[in-house]
Amino acid sequence: MMMLFACITVVLLGMLTIALLNTLTFPHLNPAPPHDLQSPLVSILIPARNEAAVIKKTVKNLLSQTYPHFELIILDDNSQDSTATVAQSAGQHDDRLRIIRGQPLPEGWLGKNWACQQLAQAAVGDWLIFTDADVTWQPAALAALMTEIDRTHADVITIWPTQHSQSWSERLVVPLMALAIVGYLPAVLVHRSPWPSFAAANGQCLAFRRSVYESIGGHTRVHSEVLEDVLLARHVKAGGFTLRMVDGNRLVTCRMYRNWTEVREGFAKNILSGYGNSVPLL
């Protein structure tokens, strides 16, 4: 019993140490001055399925970005609601917005991975930013992200959005997902070590230098994987490229779930990311 207590104590102290280290070293997005028109072209890519309830706000927020040189592409992934119509209306004929229809799912692919691969093929930007329809970008967020890229020369950056929770189930579960990163994975090793095992990513916001995305094989490389974001991050490191994590710092926010069913299903997927895909831990 004493040995078990000692082991638990060591684990908890280790988690506390890593959490404190991350508190001190985890970088944050910060508001940035306006960029000029020579800035790289950015493709903001959103796979959307049955997102009519949130897509209007998302489109309006993204088209309000202060960063001057971007396109916004939304893939309507065979929605059963009015996602495409609402998105198009929200764009008010803005020529930076394109709506494309998802093609039939090939054998062996998961839906989101196939949607992201199609988005990448349609994009023309130097940077590809995959983000979810329920992620809110403040007007200065894209400029802040591109400034961080300029400052760090990163090849891939993943943002951990500030999470909004309202229901009791969200407030119970969402912090556990954050703990999977903050308490187990030192950000300094993600940024400085070459080892793929020290890699993490959040598919809610994942930005690739286009040449790097293509070099690692894009979403084709992870076409059947549930934890595609984490595995892409590992491929980035295995390819010798640089990966960086940043906190959204309220410039990028998200409310992930709205009911217990969504919380349960999301927890089952996301907790795998933090615990190394170890199913017995669920």
Chain center to CA of 274: 14
Residue 71: what residue type?
E
Number of domains forming the structure of the chain:
1
7 within some domain: no
232 within some domain: yes
- Asked if residue 257 lies in contact with residue 268, where contact means CB atoms within 8 angstroms, the answer is no
Which domain CATH number covers 47? 3.90.550.10
Residue 3: what residue type?
M
Tell me, what's the pLDDT at 180?
65
Q: Judging by DSSP bridges, how do beta strands 70-76 and 42-48 pair with one another? A: parallel
Tell me, what's the pLDDT at 189?
84
Tell me, what's the pLDDT at 32?
82
Q: What residues contact 241, with CB distance under 8 A and at least 6 apart?
A: 155, 156, 209, 212, 215, 216
94 within some domain: yes
Tell me, what's the pLDDT at 26?
81
C-alpha–C-alpha distance, residues 126 and 174, integer Å:
33
Domain residue limits at 118? 37-281
- In a 13 Å sphere around the CA of 75, the CA atoms on its Cβ side amount to 25
In tens digits, what is the pLDDT along the chain, a chain of 282 residues? 667 666 666 555 556 666 666 666 788 899 887 777 678 999 999 999 999 999 999 999 999 999 999 999 999 999 999 999 999 999 988 999 999 999 999 999 999 999 999 999 999 999 999 999 999 999 999 999 999 999 999 999 999 998 766 666 666 666 666 666 666 778 888 888 999 989 989 999 999 999 999 999 999 999 999 889 999 999 999 999 999 999 998 899 987 766 667 666 666 665 554 444 444 333
Chain center to CA of 106: 24
C-alpha–C-alpha distance, residues 159 and 2, integer Å:
41
Q: What residues contact 65, with CB distance under 8 A and at least 6 apart?
A: 137, 139, 140, 141, 142, 143
77 within some domain: yes
Query: Look-up: residue for tokens 């054998």?
Result: 107
41 within some domain: yes
4 within some domain: no
CB atoms within 10 A of CB 191: 17
213 within some domain: yes
76 within some domain: yes
CB atoms within 10 A of CB 102: 18
C-alpha–C-alpha distance, residues 233 and 219, integer Å:
11
